[in-house]
Every structure is written in structure tokens, then in C-alpha cells.
Amino acid sequence: MTQRDSRTTGTRAWLGLLVVLGPVLLVSMDGSILFLAMPRVSQALSPSADQALWILDSYGFAVGSLLIAFGNIGDRYGRLRLLMIGAAVFGIGSAAAAYAPTPELLIAARALMGVAGATLLPSALAVLSELFTEPRRRAQAIGIFAATFAAGFAVGPVIGGLLLERFWWGSVLLINLPVVVAFLCLAPVLLREVRAPRQGRIDLASVVTSAVGLLLTIYGLKHAAAEGLSGTAVGAVIAGIAVMVWFGRRQLRLEHPLIDFSLFRDRIFTVAVITGLIPLAAWSATAYLAGIYLQSVLDLPVLHAALLALPGAVVLVTTSIVTPVLADRVGKRTMLLACHLSIAFGLLLLLLTTVEGRIGWYVASTVVAGIGYGISFAVVADIAVGAVPPERAGSAGAIAETSNELGNALGIAMLGSVAALLFRLQGPDLAPTLDETLQLPALAAAAIADAKSAFVAGLHVAAAVAAALHLALGLVTLRWLPARQTPSAAARSSAVVTGRSHTNPLHT
């Protein structure tokens, strides 16, 4: 290749990276952009407590449940083709969600966005790997990819708050459309098709049962938190667990399973995947609850609430960028310990917030916990793929990627349900949620105070539970992970970065 051809290829690759980063930013950002918008959504559509959680959860569950399946489909039928289809459907879903007239239609549109989002992440990274064939450049590009993914989660609420200051709640979803249109116009010019045929067929029963099992279990837990224990709630949880058990047993029998559960025999891999799930669960739940706290309890304008989240977002993104360099010096076990301890300490700072305010403690919480969240984004996937043989790195990366998306949804589902249960038990029992209670006409001042106190109590319990989980994970990390990564594991991680696997968007 001539020097001129090399420069042309390099320019095309970096322009292609910019184009690919658009869908990546949208997928991660849309997992959190509705957090600050939920009070406005509640005012406009009056969703029930269950519906409010599903408005947030349906997207993450769809992404997490279908991520691995669409990775396999893209390998078989073409990554760029799937990327184009997914981007178009994502745009359609965004428009439908922005103008949804009822909670049910908003939930359906968000689920459609999640299905489309599941096509974008694995396909985007595979196309990116085709653009950068030189290992060093590819590693740089993947680092930028990972930082963008982390940034989307962090800045979603901030961007949402800025838009809500001037426009109606649907605007936070309509901003997806210019990015989608630009991608559909530029991708065919700058990107090439990528295929990597895999053996075996995609097991449709596994795809369906994994999604159904999760949804039934979470539906039952949410129903119990919002309405109390009932036959419906208990039956849904039992049915969901039974379906998930059947799913797991089926994977062990399949020659080409959707999820290779044998990877979990490795303790290091297991710790990495759990570390991908729990921090995202804590972050999504507390960000959602804090958005309501700032606006509905403290009566802050939405722009003010958005700006208060900005310091934590900056720390999260910065940490995700610098962590790989630090991990090479101090070791990944040390970084994971710092991850869990900083998140736990940051969450405990939320316990100092009150109905009267103490906003400084909220900002301090986001900054301290943001260090841990950034570490999680940066090192989890690297540890997961480094713990398995090179030929299984693709499966390991896909599972690590899925744990992040499921964590984002499960946090709102589980910890959000805990907060909802506390509100139901301690609140004035006039409506199932704080926003619904505050919208009641001629509400007495004592009832308002009781409702706000009950919500803050729920926020505190959810934060305390998440902090306890992180402290426990810190102890597990200290016990199970070696002080230093073995040379063979380091070599496997390097092999993934340099191109043996391109299924993991969080690999740095």
C-alpha cells in the first residue's frame, strides 16, 4: 500500500469510527435519558407505579435479552446490514415513543427501541474492527468506543434535563432522529460489510425463554412492591424462575448454546460478570430515584437537577478513560476493589440527604460513586475475556456486555421496586407513587410531607441495599481474584484487543 493509500485508509477509518459512535452513544444514552423526564411523563400520561417502572425497564430488558442472539445473527447475515436495519428501527421507535399518547404505547415503543438497540452494539464494534486492521490503532479505537459507551450512560440525564428545560418530554427521544438519519446516509459510504459465519443455528427457544423468564420474574416482583403480595405476583415469580431454570438446563445440552454457562466455572470470569451487572444496577436505580428526589421532593427546576448530575458524569467518563493505564500499573484486582468500595461509599453518602435538602451530599455521592462506575465500564470486559481461552473470548465478551445492559434494567426493576414498597408502606396511602400523590387536588400539607418523607426513606433503603451488595462484592473480589493477572491471561486479553474477538464494546 502506498503512503497516500495508507493516509486515505486512515482518514476513512477515523471518519467511519465517528459514524459508528453515533448509534453507540444513542443506545447507552437512551438507557438513562428518561430518568429526569419521568416526573413530566407522569404528569402527561399518568402511568401507574408498575407502568412507570416498565417505561424505564422495557428498553433495557429488550437490549439485554437479545444482545447475544443479534450478535449471532449479524455474524451470519452481515453486520452492516443488521446495523442499518437496527438504526432505522431505532429511529422509528424513538419517534413513536416521543408521541405516545398512553403509557402502554410508550412501553411498547421503548421495547421496540430496545430490540433495535440490541442489533447496534455488537454489529457496530464488528464493523469498527474491520476499519482498523492495525492492532495499535484498533486498540485506540476500541478505547474511544468504550469511553463513548460510558459517556452515554452518564450524560443521558444531563442532556435530558437540558432539553426538558425548553421542550416537552418527548424531545428527549426525538434527538435520536438526526443521529439516525446521519448514520443511514454516511454508513454505506464509509463502512463495509462484515461477516463471520458461526457454526450451528440460533436456538429460537433459548431466545424466547430467556426473555420470558426475566420478564415474568421482574413483573412479579414489581407487582408485589406496588400492590402487595398476591397470587398473581407470586405465580409470576415462580413461573419466571421455572422458565429461567429450564433455559439454563437447555443451554447445557445444546452444542451451540446462546449463553455458555460453563464459562462461569472460572471464578475470575464470574466476578467480572457480576461486577458488570451490580454497578449498573446501582447506578440506574439511584439515578432514577435521585431524579425524582431532586424535582418532586426538593422542587428543583429540571435544568438545575441536570446540572447537579454533571460532576458525577464527568468523573465517570474521565475514570473510564484513565483506568486502563492505572490497571496496568496496580493490577485489575486493586482496581476492582477500588470500584466496589468507591461505589459503596458513594451510595452511603445518599443516606445524608433529607426532605429539606443537603444537595451537597447528593453531588458528593455521584462524584465518589462515579469513580467506581467508571472503573467498572473500563475493566470488567477485559477481565472477563482474559479469564477464558482465546477461542471462547467472543462468548465471554458477549456475556460481559449483556451483564451491563441487564444490570441497567434490573437495577430499576429490583431497587426501584424496593423504593416503591417503602413508599406504599410508609406513605399517606393516597396513591401508589410520589408524583401521583402530589398531583391529587387539595392535598393537605401533612400528606405532602408524609409522601416526601416516605419517598426519601425508599431512596435511602435502595441505596443502602446497593451499598451492601458492593461491599460484599469487594470481599469476594479480594478472596477470589489473584493479586496480579497471570501472563497467559494477559496474553489472551491482548489477543482480544488486537482482533481475535470483536463482540465487546466495553473492551479497553
3-29 and 176-190 helices, crossing angle to 10°? 150
Taking the C-alpha atoms of residue 177 and residue 173, their distance in angstroms, rounded to an integer, is: 8
Instruction: Decide if 508 is inside a domain.
Output: no
Measured distance CA(163)–CA(169) in Å, rounded: 8
Residue 500: per-residue pLDDT? 35
475 vs 271: CA distance, rounded Å: 11
Total structural domains in the chain? 2
Separation between Cα atoms, residue 362 and residue 262, nearest integer Å: 41
* Position 507 in a domain: no
Mean pLDDT of 418-443: 83
Distance CA 508, CA 145 (A): 8
67 vs 508: CA distance, rounded Å = 19
Per-residue pLDDT band at 499 (split at 50, 70, 90):
very low
Q: What is the CATH number of the domain that holds 295?
A: 1.20.1250.20
Per-residue pLDDT tens over the stretch 444-483: 888 899 999 999 999 999 999 999 999 999 998 888 776 6
Q: For the residues of 28-59, what is the DSSP string, one character each?
A: HHTTTTTTTTHHHHHHHH---HHHHHHHHHHH
**Averaged pLDDT of the chain:** 79
Measured between alpha carbons, how far is 371 from 276 in angstroms, rounded to an integer? 14
| Cα–Cα distance measured from residue 128 to residue 435, given in angstroms and rounded to the nearest whole number | 43
Window from 82-86, 140-144, 203-207, 299-303 with minimum mean pLDDT: 140-144
Q: Are residues 230 and 266 in the same domain?
A: no
Convert the pLDDT of each residue in 349-364 to its tens digit: 999 999 988 899 999 9
pLDDT at 112 over 60: yes
Q: Does residue 226 belong to any structural domain of this protein?
A: yes
404 has pLDDT over 90: no
Whether residue 406 has pLDDT greater than 80: no
Q: Around Cβ 338, how many Cβ atoms within 10 Å?
A: 19
> How distant, in Å, are the alpha carbons of 106, 118, 137, 213, 445 from that of 410?
19, 16, 35, 13, 35
Output 57 or 314, whichever has higher pLDDT: 314
Average pLDDT over residues 225-252: 84
- pLDDT band at residue 194, thresholds of 50, 70 and 90? low
Q: What is the percent of the chain with per-residue pLDDT over 90, rounded to a whole number?
A: 18
When comparing pLDDT for 81 and 73, which is higher?
81
User: What average pLDDT does this structure show over 75-102?
Assistant: 86
Average pLDDT over residues 331-341: 87
CB contact at 8 A, 90 and 180: yes
Determine which of 57-61, 136-140, 218-222, 410-414 has the lowest per-residue pLDDT on average. Answer: 136-140
Residue 8 has pLDDT above 70, yes or no: no
* Residue 317, H or E segment: helix 310-330
CB within 8 Å of 239: residues ≥ 6 apart: 216, 220
Q: Which residues contact 87 (CB under 8 A, 6 or more apart)?
A: 23, 116, 120, 180, 183, 184, 187
Read off the pLDDT band of 168 (50, 70, 90).
confident
Question: In this structure, is residue 39 part of a structural domain?
Answer: yes
Per-residue confidence band for 497, with pLDDT thresholds at 50, 70 and 90 = very low
For residue 261, pLDDT beyond 60: yes
Let me know how long the chain is: 508
Across 428-436, average pLDDT: 81
The residue range of the domain holding 163 is 3-202+258-500
- Indicate the pTM of the whole model: 0.74
Tell me: pLDDT of 65 over 80: no
Q: For residue 406, report the phi and psi dihedrals to the nearest 5 degrees.
A: -65, -35
Grid cell listed for 410 = 434490573
Q: Tell me what pLDDT residue 199 has.
A: 54
Q: Based on the domain organization, do 324 and 464 belong to the same domain?
A: yes
For residue 46, how many other CB atoms are within 10 A of its CB? 14
User: Domain check: are 309 and 397 in the same one?
Assistant: yes
Domain final position from 225, 257, 289: 257
Report d(CA 412, CA 302) in Å as an integer. Answer: 20
Identify whether residues 152 and 184 lie together within a single domain: yes
Helix (H) or strand (E) holding 237: helix 231-253
Same domain as 145, residue 267: yes
Residues 401 and 427 in one domain: yes
76 C-beta neighbours (distance < 10 Å), count: 14
C-alpha cell at 421: 414498597
Average pLDDT (211-229) is: 75
Range ranked top by mean pLDDT from 27-41, 276-290, 354-368: 354-368
Find, among 266, 253, 100, the residue nearest to 168 by Cα: 100
Do 305 and 250 share a structural domain? no
pLDDT, average across residues 266-277: 83
Say what the pLDDT of residue 2 is.
46
Angle at 61 between CA 64 and CA 227, to 5 degrees: 150
User: Using 50, 70 and 90 to split pLDDT, how confident is the model at 72?
Assistant: low
Report how far Cα 401 is from the mean position of its chain's Cα atoms: 9
Considering the domain architecture, whether residues 321 and 209 belong to the same structural domain is answered as no
Q: Quick one: 319 and 224 in the same domain?
A: no
Q: Do residues 131 and 97 both lie within one domain?
A: yes
Cell numbers for 165: 428545560
Residue 252 is assigned to a structural domain of this protein = yes
* Rounded Cα gap, residues 412 and 292, in angstroms: 13
Average pLDDT of 312-336?
A: 82
234: cell is 407470586
Q: Is 387 a member of any domain?
A: yes
Contact 196, 77 (CB under 8 A): no
**505 lies in some domain:** no
Residue 135's pLDDT band (cuts 50, 70, 90):
low
Q: What are the Cα distances from residue 296, in Å, to 38, 162, 289, 355, 449? A: 10, 17, 10, 10, 12
| 396 inside domain | yes
The torsion of the CA quartet 129, 130, 136, 140, rounded to 10 degrees, works out to -50
Least confident of 139-148, 169-178, 320-329: 139-148
CA distance readout (Å), 97 to 48, 79, 103, 174, 214? 17, 26, 10, 9, 23
325 burial via Cβ count (<10 Å: 0-12, 13-18, 19+): exposed
Task: Look up residue 115 and give its amino acid.
Answer: V
Determine the average pLDDT of the residues in 174-190.
88
Residue 369 has pLDDT above 80, yes or no: yes
Residue bearing the bigger pLDDT, 325 or 227: 325
- Give me the mean pLDDT over the 165-190 stretch: 88
Per the structure block, which three cell numbers stand in for 434? Answer: 410520589
Indicate if 253 and 285 belong to the same structural domain: no
- Same domain? 168 vs 240: no
